[in-house]
Amino acid sequence: MEGKMMDYRQLGRSALKVSSLCLGTMNFGPRTSEAESFAILGDALEAGINFIDTANQYGGHLGVGTTETLVGKWLAQDPSRRDKIVLATKVHEPMSDQINDRGLSARHIQMACDASLKRLGVDHIDLYQMHHIDRTAPPEEIWQAMDRLISQGKITYVGSSNFPGWKIAQMNERAGQRHGLGLVCEQSFYNLIERRAELEVLPACQAYGLGLITWSPLAGGLLASTGQETAGRRQSQSVRAAALARSDQLARYGELCRSIGETPTAVALAWLLHQPGVTSTIIGPGSQAQLSSVLHVPGLRLGEDFLAAIDAIFPAIGPAPEAYAW
């Protein structure tokens, strides 16, 4: 069931092409050392992953901005790397105790973008994503700020993350009124266990031409191969409790994966790439070995019978509104 090592998909209705595996960097710095992070970044680039996702808030106990700074140091080691990658970061989360140093006000968007550019050591960000919705920020204010950044050459595309379907629709309707491109992608919580995105988010993305980027594709480690980790979320009390509650379901899933000679991790990632509207799935390897173990995923082809067997274990909710209305 193995095929080519990497494939590339258009990011929504834009002409930009990104790898179907997106390298997530949230653990770089607080959990993964700088040296190991650099090695993972290098291996990913060599393997054909051209999509790197970060956020201004990432840094954990080391402090906000730490991960962007680390990515910037890696880029500075070899300036040719910058043109080989699609660099994505995010804005919204609190960056300090200052009342205006958060959210999606035009002021914060401008200041946060400038700060991210400095930490990353680049002159532009390819994809600037709103990390969450800000119910206090009018769409017109947000688009005014984003359009200004685009005109300044500081960002190229705008995306959303953790947006509900109605907000995706609202933002793109407002963008159309301003004769703008609008959102080109949504980064959403979506995996075999958490399928609520299929109700409203995925249909909204498809209707407005957004590519879906999935985060937490392994459900915090529940869908990952077992016996390979000694630390991290997979060993947390909450994950262990969830695994116990779903033990029968996960056992059936593991048996199904073994029937084709694949790991639960690889199948969970490949399943997402088989879903209509999904452009890329974020992987967050903590080591070079973890990265290497999933590089074949874009080449996995899951047959209709196998996909139906997965649905029998992890049932789909169904389309909206039919799933909850008569």
Which active-site residues does the annotation give? 58
* Nearby residues of 290 by Cβ (< 8 Å), 6 or more positions away: none
* Nearby residues of 144 by Cβ (< 8 Å), 6 or more positions away: 106
C-alpha to C-alpha distances, 3 to 194, 271, 277, 288, 295, nearest whole angstrom: 28, 15, 21, 21, 11
d(CA 181, CA 197) in angstroms, rounded, equals 23
CB 222 within 8 A of CB 239: yes
Residue 103, sorted as left (phi over 0), alpha (psi -120 to 50) or beta, turns out to be: left
Element (H, E) at 132: none
- Helices 247-258/264-273 angle, 10° precision: 80
Which string of b and e fits 25-57 if b means at least 16 CB within 10 Å?
Answer: bbbbbebbeeebbbbbbebbbebbbbbbbbbbb
